[in-house]
Structure 1
Amino acid sequence: MATAGAVDGKGTGGTDKMAALKVIYNKLQAEVLEDHAIEVTHESAIQWIDRMMDYNVLGGKCNRLLSVIDTYNILKGADVISQEETFLACTLGWCMEWLQAVYLMLDDIMDNSQTRRGQPCWFRVPQVGLIAINDAIILHNHVPRILRRHFKTKPYYVDIIDLFNEAEFKAVSSQLLDLIITHDGRKDLNRYNETIYRHIAQYKTAYYSFYIPVACALLLAGENLDNFGDVKNILIEIGIYFQIQDDYLDCFGDPELTGKIGTDIEESKCSWLVVQALEHTDENQKSILIENYGKSDPACVAKVKDLYKELNLELVFREYERETYIKLIGTIEAQLNKAVQTLLKSFLHKIYKREK
């Protein structure tokens, strides 16, 4: 089992840090495979699940996992955290990564995506196809089993379960809104606006990816979440900023860095870029946008991207990024608790001007 210092990466570097986290992943993976072996004795099925877990849970940036650990270290002090506390924090973080894998697997199918994390989407792997739907359900079922095995005797167990359930409810509800709005947008692009965009981004990304990891660490540290309303609001704003970055990188990012070929234009997504374009176009430009947005023809995609460049949306994004950073720093520094300031600034600085 990893020590607290190893997971925090003190004096060992990022490689050793991720190696320590992988040790805990291997332990959790072995436990769920043992569960499967009891219920499904066919060796080929166990091998399939083993490969499927590695393919989908591993390979990402592990932002949610690292957020739980970093938050707990800041709250408690990395030098005094026991091995058991380290293991529990990592386990909560890996549960977040398990759920993230579920969402990405299903999202890729719904968006008909090609690549994820620099490799083909799982459903595009030969012999997988729509079996990926059942695989996602299998991964989803691992999470409550892991939580029950390691947290059932903890006083905050019910709060953790409630937190995960609430996060999932918001995420899938927002995903439905995203899909419905996308369907409506194909018929009338003017349905897209800033209000709808922020609602989707808040619950599909910000709440789940930024607030929940911190809330997990707070509960593990024995805190009452009701005392951290301001922290929640700031994290959600950081999360919306993150989603806007994602939308920008979907169009203007380098696939070699992002590990993904963007499809927001082809899929007619309610992206931050198209919302901005609708606000900045004249009638002629808007007609070009409406005529070409949401079509898979490369020529149509190129016309939309050319229009984005004509509207200087790259510059609009950079200005938004600068103003958002200044505003968030001011809000964070208004917090009285220095540990909370450190925590929130660490989140912001991790993503500020990111390229992947």
Structure 2
Amino acid sequence: MSDRDTFNSTWPMIREELMSFVREYSLGDEVNTHILNMFEHSIPGGKMNRALFVIETVKILKGRALTESEYEEASVLGWCVEILQAFFLVADDVMDQSITRRGQPCWYRMPGIGLDAINDSFILENVIYALIKKHFAGKPYYVDLLEIFLKISFRTELGQLMDLTSTPKDMQLDLSRFTEERHTNIVVYKTAFYSFYLPVCIGILCAEVKLAKAGWDIVEKMCIEIGKFFQIQDDYLDCYGDPETIGKIGTDIEDAKCSWMVVKALQLCSPEDRKMLDACYGKKDSENVKKVKELYGKLDLSKVYHEYEDASHAELMEMMKGIEGFPVEVFMYLIKKIYHRTK
């Protein structure tokens, strides 16, 4: 059984615990059924990499295979990260008016859901803390767990705000706002902190390893750099990835996202090409999307991306050579999971 399958086999136990938090209030079958369907639709079914990062971090730090109770604790924290991801995605899909997620219609597009999905996202966020309380209230790092989840949630929400306000709703699209600095800030805050830094941090807490400030600084720096690498991959796959493989239909061009692809295009294009981008980027119709993608082809952004991917990977490998006070195997695991990924 693969690591992912082993982790997924714990879902029925987690689902039952989540539903027990709901049933505690005796609100009836209608509420229970709605929430169960929402949990099943929104939480399982992804790549589960964030959860596996938690478990592998604990395993590497302990230097051995985990006992059954240790694995259960690490897997609960892994599910907490996956539920946090579900909370962000359910809300994000509403804001972006996305169509599919993980190969199925977004939750808000399911029959009878619509904007009720916003309230469902709040429920997802709250059950994280119920799970943490149930399993870790007696642990010496309980408060640290609460603080890291709250801190990273806030940072991610700030990143989402930067993403949303890249194109203010009451203004005409201004591509001069799509700078490399803005894109980096969005990537770090919206993706890197919760996708890489959070799983490693809670893995460290779960393993009950004491780190000096220098060690925590190394963890943050490496996780942020890996997170940047990951999101630029995501931006590329939104344009060139197979929807059947990545599990969603890419809409960064239609949604006028401050994506790495358009940032690079703005850096490389001619004044004439820039006029076309200004006219076509952010338009919903397929003809304008096609013109933007044709420009990406003309600028050979696929080659630019693959050169970036190899250079970034080499840079990460070089950064690890000087690390002391924290096992580089944790970072190697993260990088191996995402290097040359196709989904």
Task: Name the TM-score, length of structure 1 as normaliser.
Answer: 0.92
Q: Deviations over 1:129-150 (max 9, x none)?
A: 1111111111111011111111
Question: Which stretch of the first structure deviates more once superposed, 247-256 or 29-38?
Answer: 29-38
**Counterpart residue number, 2:159:** 174
**Counterpart residue number, 2:299:** 311
Aligned length: 340
**Counterpart residue number, 1:348:** 335
Residue aligned with 1:264, SS: coil
Shift in Å, 1:335:
1.7
Residue aligned with 1:187, SS: coil
Cα separation, 2, equivalents of 1:313 and 1:267: 19
Question: Which stretch of the first structure deviates more once superposed, 327-336 or 139-148?
Answer: 327-336
Q: Please report the RMSD computed on the Cα atoms of aligned residues, expressed in angstroms.
A: 1.4
Residue aligned with 1:39, SS: coil
Alignment map for 1:1-356 (pairs within 5 Å): 13-14=1-2, 17-79=3-65, 81-183=66-168, 186-225=172-211, 226=213, 227-336=215-324, 340-356=327-343
Deviating 4+ runs (over 6 angstroms): none
CA contact (8 A) 1:186 1:268 kept: no
Shift in Å, 1:40:
3.3
Cα separation, 2, equivalents of 1:216 and 1:70: 11
Cα separation, 2, equivalents of 1:186 and 1:265: 15
Residue aligned with 1:135, SS: helix
User: Per the alignment, do residues 243 and 295 of structure 1 end up closer, same or farther by CA in structure 2, a change over 3 Å counting?
Assistant: same
Q: Unpaired segments of 5 or more residues in structure 2?
A: none
Question: Which stretch of the first structure deviates more once superposed, 259-268 or 180-189?
Answer: 180-189
The structure whose residues are more often helix, as a share, is 1
The letter of the residue matching 2:140 is: P
CA contact (8 A) 2:91 2:118 kept: yes
Cα separation, 1, equivalents of 2:205 and 2:268: 44
Cα separation, 1, equivalents of 2:6 and 2:30: 29
The letter of the residue matching 1:116 is: R
CA contact (8 A) 2:61 2:209 kept: no
Shift in Å, 1:186:
4.6
The letter of the residue matching 1:117 is: R
**Counterpart residue number, 1:10:** none
CA contact (8 A) 1:172 1:204 kept: yes
**Counterpart residue number, 1:9:** none
The letter of the residue matching 1:143 is: I
The letter of the residue matching 2:189 is: Y
Cα separation, 2, equivalents of 1:19 and 1:355: 20
Shift in Å, 1:253:
0.7
CA contact (8 A) 1:257 1:355 kept: yes
Shift in Å, 1:47:
1.4
CA contact (8 A) 2:57 2:200 kept: yes
User: Per the alignment, do residues 19 and 316 of structure 1 end up closer, same or farther by CA in structure 2, a change over 3 Å counting?
Assistant: closer
CA contact (8 A) 2:167 2:174 kept: no
CA contact (8 A) 1:242 1:351 kept: yes
Cα separation, 1, equivalents of 2:21 and 2:87: 19
CA contact (8 A) 1:285 1:307 kept: yes
Q: Deviations over 1:318-344 (max 9, x none)?
A: 11111101111011122235x722111
CA contact (8 A) 2:21 2:130 kept: no
Task: Name the TM-score, length of structure 2 as normaliser.
Answer: 0.96
Shift in Å, 1:235:
1.2
Percent of aligned positions that are identical: 42
